[in-house]
Amino acid sequence: MASLRCFLRSGKNAVTAVLRREFHGTPPAAVQYIGVTVRDALNQAMDEELERDERVFLLGEEVAQYDGAYKVSRGLWKKYGDKRIIDTPITEMGFAGIAVGAAMAGLRPICEFMTFNFSMQAIDQVINSAAKTYYMSAGLQSVPIVFRGPNGSSAGVAAQHSQCFAAWYGHCPGLKVVSPWSAEDARGLLKSAIRDDNPVVFLENELMYGVPFEMSEEVQSKDFLIPIGKAKIERQGNHITLVSHSRMISLCLDAAAVLAKEGIECEVINMRTIRPLDAEAIETSIMKTNHLVTVEGGWPQFGIGAEILARIMEGPAFNYLDAPAVRVTGVDIPMPYAKNLEDNSIPQIKDIIFSVKKTLNV
Amino acid sequence: MTLQSLNRFFFYKLYSVVVSARTYADFTPQATFDIKKCDLHKLEEGPPLQAVLSREEGLQYYRTMQTMRRMELKADQLYKQKIIRGFCHLYDGQEACAVGIEAGINLSDHLITAYRAHGYTLTRGGTVREIMAELTGRRGGIAKGKGGSMHMYTKHFYGGNGIVGAQVPLGAGVALACKYLGKNELCVCLYGDGAANQGQIFETYNMASLWKLPCIFICENNKYGMGTSVERAAASTDYYKRGDFIPGLRVDGMDVLCVREATKLAAEHCRSGKGPILMELQTYRYHGHSMSDPGVSYRTRDEIQEVRSKSDPISMLKDRMLSNNMASVEELKEIDVEVRKEIEDAAQFATTDPEPPLDDLCNHIFYNDPPMEVRGTNPWTKLKSVS
């Protein structure tokens, strides 16, 4: 039985985290585990893919000479130069369109948005130029592009810099939307995204960048890929299913650890991909646990949880529910600045515990 | 018929056969024509003031422009019969632009435009048949009926784009790929006078110039952005200057030779690594903005008629060729007949070809992916989707 602990403290100063240990049965004798932060995992994934395929290149604000606004692209410009790592002016609509055009003409761009909040300026290019083109052209024109950057709330950056776009992008056919949590997720999913011949929206999280995770040798290999569209069970449990993505997985695991002391075993599912949604994984779990709580950082209306609940209602797992499925979400307000207000605007561990107990009627 | 009249009949028939059997050696193989001087912006030298046209070129331009004209008029007809529906933006009047541009570049170069795209789909390798069948939404359409008027694609032709101005950054991206891959290709990136005020176009000017992308920006100024005249939409209607730091030229877009020479100059500029260049083509559309716009509420019928009689691109070429003995009236008439037939056949195909199969509904979501399921209109309907 796997036992996992991960503690995350948000905030700009020291991020203290306990290394996550994961045991798949008996580990082979000489397995090399190394601690890798999400940031480094993303960096290495891009580095390897840039090396592997000449057509891959990165563009965005401050990605080259500044080493990346969040240092995710550190060292890449020095290694690959101006042709492959391109600093853009602060013109999202323009450079996102340029990236899409380059993808149409045979290159494989990685278009970085400094945060996905700024992608709103360019959202027409993501949806109308990238996502829909393969369909509109009936297969004549593909668009192999990755849009990546931090998504969702950070710490103290207030309303215009804290929105979660998972539901907005997850709404649109023609896009794949991916939301990694761990370093392994980041690595495997980014590689898959870059190798995918379709537009992929890759939602990172700023608060996760500095969090280290243990990475096995297998995960460190250059061709380690995580398939897009498949969820992962991070923690097995029998009593209730928690479904989440990105940073909220950490909170779910923390809540699960607390609940375990009271004899409640949560099954924590890491969605990994928002679109296409792995409904089957969630259904299989519900058929075992009979209870569902979804957890997300974004707003409730028309959100990730709303979609999951609707699908469960419409699918075979409904009959296995012993209680209505519920959602734990961010509060339905623009993000405030003051720390106490901000802390109370997004799910906390106690909110998850509360919802689990309410659902289980304990 | 009496024997006498029969004789007379055969005599005249023989005579007319003899007349039209003039050998091609009778025609002037090529001639030089004066073309209008282009206004220049940050350019030392413009295109030459004279253009050489060969007989073959002339006949080819004539045929293509006539095909384009007839195709658009046929689309008008089919739209009024409700066989074409939705948006339909016609290009008649602007033929010299598409044909002139193509004459100045190679098929291995790249081109992208907005929604008034039927003409470019033709010059970029599409057939009248597949264009018309796309307009009527049939499976034989160039996009299998799934794109429609505004979303037609061929090799090195990136549509057909519905969102005003969005195609301009895309075009610069294509140019970036051209430079990156080092194949000495360039991208022609078209937009209208209405789009010329879009912010993303200025963002694109900036990046294309910074990175010296091989991009020819072309503003097709047909004087009206939908129903708004250029004077009412733009603080500066000198569209060829709007690129500021990008050299520009203003071109007579009704003269196919002027367009060709300007395009050649622009292509040379790009290929020599100097970065982007901007061309404004002054042109005119006979139809309204789209089929739902009669086109006479914001301009007078007199104005339209004046352009038709004085500046029609096809008439201009025809007059030049005839007055220089580069072709005969009959020869051009024959081309007209052939073109008409081609259009009729295409229209016939476009109206009789079946609509796409319902099986195709959910296909073409992702490229190079295994088959997947797509939710239908209700939870019990699962539709199949292949790449």
Cross-chain residue pair B143–A138, CB shorter than 8 Å: yes
A61 pLDDT above the threshold of 80: yes
B56 beta partners: none
Chain B contact probe: residue of A92, A137, A283, A307 with most B CBs at under 10 A: A137
**Which parts of B157-316 are beta strand (E)?**
187-192, 215-221, 224-225, 228-229, 248-252, 277-282
Using one digit for the tens of pLDDT, what is the confidence trace for B132-149?
999 999 999 999 999 999
| Count of CB pairs separated by less than 8 Å, A with B | 153
A326 pLDDT above the threshold of 60: yes
Q: Which of A88, A197, A314 sits opposite B207 (nearest CB)?
A: A88
pLDDT of residue A339: 97
Contacts of A237 (CB under 8 A, 6+ apart): A256, A265, A266, A267, A268, A289
Find the closest chain B residue to A121 by CA distance: B200
CB proximity B235 to A under 8 Å:
no
3-state class (DSSP) for residue B226: coil
CATH of domain A36-220: 3.40.50.970
Q: Which of B46, B198, B232 is nearest to B114 (CA)?
A: B198
Q: Å from B358 to nearest chain A CA?
A: 14
Q: Are the C-beta atoms of residues B356 and B144 closer than 8 Å to each other?
A: yes
For residue B367 the two structure tokens come to 């490229």
Contacts of A175 (CB under 8 A, 6+ apart): A126, A127, A130, A131, A169, A198, A199, A200, A201, A275
Using one digit for the tens of pLDDT, what is the confidence trace for B156-173?
999 999 999 999 999 999
Cross-chain residue pair B172–A97, CB shorter than 8 Å: yes
CB proximity B161 to A under 8 Å:
yes
Q: Å from A147 to nearest chain B CA?
A: 15
Mean pLDDT of A189-202: 98
B203 pLDDT above the threshold of 90: yes
CA-based torsion, A298, A302, A304, A310: positive or negative: positive
Cross-chain residue pair A198–B369, CB shorter than 8 Å: yes
Cα separation of A249 and A231, whole Å?
12
CB contact residues (below 8 A), chain B span 64-123, against chain A: 110, 112
Long-range contacts at A232-235 (CB < 8 A, ≥ 24 apart): A232/A185, A232/A269, A232/A270, A232/A272, A233/A267, A233/A268, A233/A269, A233/A270, A233/A281, A233/A285, A234/A4, A234/A181, A234/A268, A234/A269, A234/A270, A235/A2, A235/A4, A235/A266, A235/A267, A235/A268
Find the closest chain A residue to B386 by CA distance: A139
CB proximity A176 to B under 8 Å:
yes
pLDDT of residue B16: 46
Cross-chain residue pair B207–A141, CB shorter than 8 Å: no
Q: How many other CB atoms are found less than 10 A from the CB of residue A153?
A: 24
Q: Which of B153, B170, B199 sits opposite A140 (nearest CB)?
A: B153
Cα separation of A199 and A202, whole Å?
10
CB proximity A263 to B under 8 Å:
no
CB proximity B180 to A under 8 Å:
yes
**Which parts of chain A are beta strand (E)?**
34-37, 56-60, 85-87, 108-112, 146-150, 176-178, 200-204, 212-215, 232-235, 240-244, 266-270, 273-275, 292-295, 326-328
Q: Map tokens 């929206």 to a residue.
A: A201
- Least confident interval from A31-35, A123-127, A214-218, A275-279: A31-35
Long-range contacts at B331-338 (CB < 8 A, ≥ 24 apart): B331/B59, B332/B62, B335/B59, B335/B62, B335/B63, B335/B66, B336/B66, B338/B63
Cross-chain residue pair A102–B200, CB shorter than 8 Å: no
Secondary structure, 3-state, A252-321: HHHHHHHHHHCCCCEEEEECCEEECCCHHHHHHHHHHHCCEEEECCCCCCCCHHHHHHHHHHHCHHHHHC
CB contact residues (below 8 A), chain A span 299-318, against chain B: 314-315
Q: Which amino acid is at B148?
A: G
CB proximity A147 to B under 8 Å:
no
Cα separation of A133 and A138, whole Å?
8
Q: Å from A8 to nearest chain B CA?
A: 37
Residue range(s) in chain A whose domain bears CATH number 3.40.50.970: 36-220
CB proximity A137 to B under 8 Å:
yes
Cross-chain residue pair B178–A89, CB shorter than 8 Å: no
Mean pLDDT of B342-367: 98
pLDDT class for B26, splitting at 50, 70, 90?
confident
Mean pLDDT of chain A: 93
Contacts of B183 (CB under 8 A, 6+ apart): B108
**Which parts of B84-131 are beta strand (E)?**
110-112
Using one digit for the tens of pLDDT, what is the confidence trace for A78-108?
999 999 999 999 999 999 999 999 999 999 9
pLDDT class for B9, splitting at 50, 70, 90?
low
Domain boundaries, chain B: 36-356, 359-386
Chain A contact probe: residue of B131, B146, B176 with most A CBs at under 10 A: B176
CB proximity A54 to B under 8 Å:
no
Using one digit for the tens of pLDDT, what is the confidence trace for A139-182?
999 999 999 999 999 999 999 999 999 999 999 999 999 999 99
Burial A24-58 (b: 16+ CB within 10 A, else e): eeeeeeeeebeebbbbbbbbbbbbbbbeeeebbbb
Share of chain A above pLDDT 90, in %: 91
Contacts of A126 (CB under 8 A, 6+ apart): A96, A100, A119, A147, A169, A175, A199, A201
pLDDT of residue A32: 72
pLDDT of residue A35: 92
Question: Residue A131 carries which DSSP code?
Answer: I
Cα separation of A31 and A258, whole Å?
30
CB proximity B198 to A under 8 Å:
no
CB proximity B159 to A under 8 Å:
yes
Higher pLDDT, A298 or A10: A298
Cross-chain residue pair A107–B176, CB shorter than 8 Å: yes
Q: Å from A315 to nearest chain B CA?
A: 8
Percentages (nearest 5) of helix, strand, coil residues in chain B: 45, 15, 40
User: Is A232-360 in CATH node 3.90.1200.10?
Assistant: no
| Pairing outcome for strands A108-112 and A240-244 | unpaired
Using one digit for the tens of pLDDT, what is the confidence trace for A3-47?
334 434 333 333 333 334 444 444 555 667 889 999 999 999 999
User: pTM higher than 0.90, yes or no?
Assistant: yes
For residue A149 the two structure tokens come to 């950057």
What residues of A are in contact with residue B110 (Cβ under 8 Å)? 105
Q: Which of B290, B34, B321, B76 is nearest to B162 (CA)?
A: B290
Q: Which of B177, B187, B203 sits opposite A94 (nearest CB)?
A: B203
Cross-chain residue pair A135–B364, CB shorter than 8 Å: yes
Catalytic center residues of A:
92, 161
Using one digit for the tens of pLDDT, what is the confidence trace for B28-45?
999 999 999 999 999 999
pLDDT of residue B88: 97
For residue A106 the two structure tokens come to 């045979």
Cross-chain residue pair A94–B147, CB shorter than 8 Å: no
Q: Which of B309, B286, B290 is nearest to B299 (CA)?
A: B286
Question: Residue B355 carries which DSSP code?
Answer: P
Q: Which of A101, A134, A314 sits opposite B173 (nearest CB)?
A: A101
Q: Which of B163, B180, B368 sits opposite A124 (nearest CB)?
A: B163
Domain B36-356: which CATH class? alpha beta
Using one digit for the tens of pLDDT, what is the confidence trace for A304-318?
999 999 999 999 999
**Residue B383, φ and ψ in degrees, nearest 5:** -105, 155
Cross-chain residue pair B207–A98, CB shorter than 8 Å: yes
Burial A212-246 (b: 16+ CB within 10 A, else e): bbbbbeebbeeebbbebbebbebbebebbbbbbbb
Cα separation of B181 and B172, whole Å?
14
Mean pLDDT of chain B: 95
pLDDT of residue B10: 52
CB proximity A99 to B under 8 Å:
yes
What residues of A are in contact with residue B366 (Cβ under 8 Å)? 134, 174, 176, 197-198
What end-to-end distance do the CA atoms of chain A give, in Å? 25
Q: Which of B354, B227, B241, B239 is nearest to B292 (CA)?
A: B227
pLDDT class for B2, splitting at 50, 70, 90?
low
For residue B8 the two structure tokens come to 């007379």
Cross-chain residue pair B181–A276, CB shorter than 8 Å: no
